C-alpha cells in the first residue's frame, strides 16, 4: 500500500463545507493539501505553482465542468478522480472510464481511492 504521508493532494471543490471536510480527512491521512480551489482558474493556477501528486475534482464547479483541470493533470501524468453526488447520466461526457468518488464519501473511501490512483 502507498504511504500517503506528505503526498500533495489538490482539492477542487466549490462547496466550502465539502472542501473543509475533504481537507480535514486528507490532513488526518498525513497528506499536504493543495488548495482547496473553488474555481477552474484557481485550480489551474495551483497546478502551475505546485504540481500535486494527485487530485480530487468536483465535476460541477458553479455550473462549469472541471474537465479542463482533468486534462491539464493528465498532461502532467498526475492521477485524479472526479467527486460527484450526481448520477453518471447527468453529465455531458462518458465517465465510464473515469475514476469517480461518490459524494458524500468517508475518510476510508477517500483513503482507498488515493491508494488506488497513486
Whole-number pLDDT of residue 106? 97
Residue 2, in any domain of the structure = no
Domain hosting 49: range is 8-117
Residue 98, in any domain of the structure = yes
Q: Residues 2-33: pLDDT tens digits?
A: 699 999 999 999 999 999 999 999 999 999 99
Q: Residues 75-110: pLDDT tens digits?
A: 999 999 999 886 655 555 555 557 889 999 999 999
Peptide bond into 104 cis (omega under 30): yes
Residue 57, in any domain of the structure = yes
Contacting residues for 29 by C-beta, under 8 A, at least 6 apart: 4, 5, 107, 110, 111, 114
pTM: 0.92
Whole-number pLDDT of residue 98? 76
Give the SS3 label for residue 11.
Answer: strand
Whole-number pLDDT of residue 6? 97
Residue 3, in any domain of the structure = no
Q: Read off the CATH number of the domain in which 110 is found.
A: 3.40.50.2300
Amino acid at each position: 500500500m502507498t504511504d500517503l504521508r506528505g503526498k500533495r493532494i489538490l482539492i477542487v471543490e466549490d462547496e466550502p463545507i465539502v472542501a473543509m471536510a475533504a481537507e480535514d480527512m486528507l490532513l488526518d491521512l498525513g497528506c499536504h493539501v493543495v488548495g482547496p480551489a473553488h474555481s477552474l482558474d484557481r485550480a489551474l493556477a495551483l497546478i502551475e505553482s505546485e504540481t500535486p501528486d494527485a487530485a480530487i475534482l468536483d465535476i460541477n464547479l458553479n455550473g462549469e465542468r472541471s474537465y479542463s483541470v482533468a486534462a491539464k493533470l493528465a498532461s502532467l501524468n498526475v492521477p485524479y478522480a472526479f467527486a460527484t453526488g450526481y448520477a453518471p447520466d447527468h453529465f455531458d461526457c462518458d465517465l465510464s472510464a473515469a475514476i469517480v468518488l461518490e459524494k458524500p464519501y468517508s475518510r476510508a473511501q477517500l483513503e482507498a481511492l488515493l491508494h488506488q490512483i497513486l
